[in-house]
């Protein structure tokens, strides 16, 4: 496996030679620094720890400063392990967007936008009770009946109800690498990527 940490920039469109339009997400991927190399002998598994994003020294703990000093780099905002990574990188080396090639499929992991507490119409796509009748009012977006009465005498587990929506970790599979701008560390992948603009995402294959 190989991967890199990036930041979602936004969305755009790419046109091919035939004039076909493809919606793409722009991700600023890397450069990431290898801040730790884990091996089977020392840690029980093989992994590369990559770090991304600059962080002020005054805002980092002394333990974090010393950890990043081993790889001769400044403190970083995000650190993540990529287990069984196929990249042959040593401590302190950089990982850039050129580890991927145009046309190959990748997976992008991110955190979706948080929507807060939402009702059943927005959260689960319910149609609502419908029109007002028999003196009812303001019932169009109500959930309706919640289940049985005397038989179960409770609300069954898994019932779709109102609650917190969004802010979930999501993996998008089968996204195609449409274009790579190595000089700007940009990678364009087809389709949408979870999260708001500026959020951290992980690209892996």
Residue range 48-72, pLDDT digits in tens: 999 999 999 999 999 999 999 999 9
Q: If pLDDT is split at 50, 70 and 90, which confidence band does 17 have?
A: confident
Helix (H, G, I), strand (E, B) or coil at 100: coil
* pLDDT the model gives residue 87: 86
The residues with which 166 forms a beta bridge, in sequence order, are: 114
Distance CA 176, CA 160 (A): 34
Q: What is the pLDDT of residue 124?
A: 95
**% of the chain residues with pLDDT over 70:** 97
Closest CA to 99 of 90, 108, 89: 89
**In terms of CATH architecture, what is 3-114+168-204?**
Beta Barrel (2.40)
Condensed to tens digits (0 to 9), the pLDDT of residues 137-190 reads: 777 888 888 888 888 888 899 999 999 999 999 999 999 999 999 999 999 999
Task: Please give the model's pTM, rounded to 2 decimal places.
Answer: 0.85
The number of beta carbons lying within 10 Å of the beta carbon of residue 92 is: 14
Pair 28, 10: CB distance under 8 Å: no
Listed by start position, the domains of the chain span 3-114+168-204, 115-166
Could you give the CA distance from residue 32 to residue 34 in angstroms, rounded to a whole number? 7
The Cα 63–Cα 65 span in angstroms is 5
pLDDT tens digits along 98-151: 999 999 999 999 999 999 999 999 999 998 776 666 677 777 888 888 888 888
> What confidence tens digit (pLDDT) does each residue in 76-103 have?
999 999 998 888 889 999 999 999 999 9
């Amino acid at each position: 496996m190989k991967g890199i940490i990036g930041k979602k920039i936004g969305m755009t469109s790419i046109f091919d030679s035939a004039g076909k339009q493809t919606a793409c997400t722009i991700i600023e991927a890397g450069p990431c620094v290898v801040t730790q190399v884990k091996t089977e002998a020392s840690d029980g598994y093989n992994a590369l720890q990559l770090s991304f994003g600059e962080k002020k020294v005054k805002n980092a703990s002394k333990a974090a400063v010393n950890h990043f000093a081993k790889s001769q780099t400044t403190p970083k905002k995000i650190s993540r392990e990529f287990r069984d990574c196929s990249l042959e990188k040593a401590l302190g080396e950089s990982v850039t967007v050129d580890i991927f090639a145009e046309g190959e499929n990748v997976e992008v992991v991110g955190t979706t936008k948080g929507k807060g507490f939402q009702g059943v119409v927005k959260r689960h796509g319910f149609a609502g009770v419908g029109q007002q009748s028999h003196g009812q009012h303001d019932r169009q977006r109500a959930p309706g009946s919640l289940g049985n009465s005397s038989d179960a005498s409770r609300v069954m587990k898994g019932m779709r109800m109102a609650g917190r929506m969004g802010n979930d970790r999501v993996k998008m599979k089968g996204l195609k690498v449409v274009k790579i701008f190595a000089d700007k560390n940009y990678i364009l992948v087809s389709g949408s990527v979870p999260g708001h603009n500026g959020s951290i995402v992980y690209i892996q294959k």
